[in-house]
Structure 1
């Protein structure tokens, strides 16, 4: 696949995936189209040699794998489906001062200031009881700009350009309407009706997130950049998804996209949970075969990396400062916040060199902390040799992030180059 087609597909995937639930559904549809067979964790598995499979958990995490059976040296790619956002509280409606607004919580390490004055929509999962007494789930996406968080005018905040702080409880409630007639349950039923869910006896619970309605786009004089929400980490999800869809059944490969990385990964569908280990043990029920697979495989933990910001270069170690559109980034940390070691780095460098694809190194400044990834979690839980790589990004955890239009395609080619 050439870079143009790759990036066009990426833009579409970003726009269609406002929540982890939607991202997982879209990846599942891609796997179906590529001939992967859906598995259910609640059923007995009868895996057939030479087939390809996928399985989901919580509708927000997904694993896809080939099954050549005798080949155990898997190339695994790990990413995460979640991104920092504003999540709706269970009883969100606040009616005061002439407007209706929603109470929200910050999910993950959110950069709050960019959320002001943006056209916001709402998406996620709703659980309900139908007339048969069954509890069902449905995904909704309003798509329309429903809300906005207006800034306080500079006339009323003379320190706005000097000391702008944001209170998570009081300052970031999106406003929806001036009508006092608004009812949250009616709103949810209306959204459900748009996805043909009409049999709703009672609404139970929802997991809904606000998102920016501005579409992903190519930006720059020569389309140098890709600007979008949720690049961290749907960018890596797309690379991993496309990589495993591009190989045949004879190549041992696995892709996992886990939820809840931005809040520590400690959940049933997070990387600290059992999802990957459970799946691998069912693939290789014999313990010796399982351990052979673990010790001969490589996990590539793919997450975003901080590109050196041209306006804030002092925030980087000068010798380890990645540039946009200069290739994938190998992430190293002496305290094992990243799982890369000399063996896994060398393997990655060798493949990149054979393909003439550029790579870069990132080490955070010694007087600053670094972000976390699923790499060390997976390495610790499974004992698998792991490499942390990333794609250079500006404005990480903002409502709109920026990456290069060359780098993701380059990482895709490197992953396919692993033997």
Structure 2
């Protein structure tokens, strides 16, 4: 048994998501556990080099987590042959150019989504990676959330019978920044900087719908900006130019109808920040980020509509929790380990740059549908 190092360029990890999920809870956690176990008994140890524009932030991260390498020069990191993977969690507007550089340097690619600000750019990256023969993957973390994995367990077991519909509710109140600090960066609300909830969340909904319920065939969406004025990190008031809520209906390949509401201007009165309700002929389920509950047809109550009398049924009490039955690790860490094994020993990894392009496609079509106020077909993609 031996431990083998694998050099990883981590660009953009000074941001909130990059630091918390990709660096601390994934790469650092993998290092602390002794690496990723391989099929031959060896272990693969991530050797990250942190890349970004802010020297002080990089230095502080490296010191806090015992990382030897960091730089503000991406070219230097790309020319080092020991670095064989390039990871990108920068803001969307910077991602396409950097990934293209990394492909040209013959690095394997793993990145956040959206992979580009346009479908054309996302498809170009997928094509370049295919032509270069580099392995590539896109973060699709929602598939590895405990609640969603429990939901997938129910689907695979045939619990639902014929699935009829999916209802997804996502969002929470993001403060405007005046009397309480905003929980999200200001660029999220500026269209000119790649912001907007459709651009941010529709790539997630694409892979969730595709991989759990069937590929998306058509959509109708309405995007809006409910909160038109916000305050940025420096305390300056600015006009919100990007959508902060979207209300969409998707038709899937097998006749399933999915209704998906996404909003940063909604107060939560549900079990979690994301809930997915699936209704089928044999049963229903509601999944959150970590939990999942079911109601089988034999346990379904029989309400009668009568607004003149008080309701006697406790509907929430009619559902049963799906047990864990396994240890659930961090969703980002799970996919990182899968990608590392994909690179090193060619394990299966279906979530490539083409899958990432499908997410960008759905975002583009969502914005187009809203602007033109009509249903749109979702064409198949290939490179």
TM range (shorter): under 0.3
* TM-score normalised by structure 1 residue count: 0.23
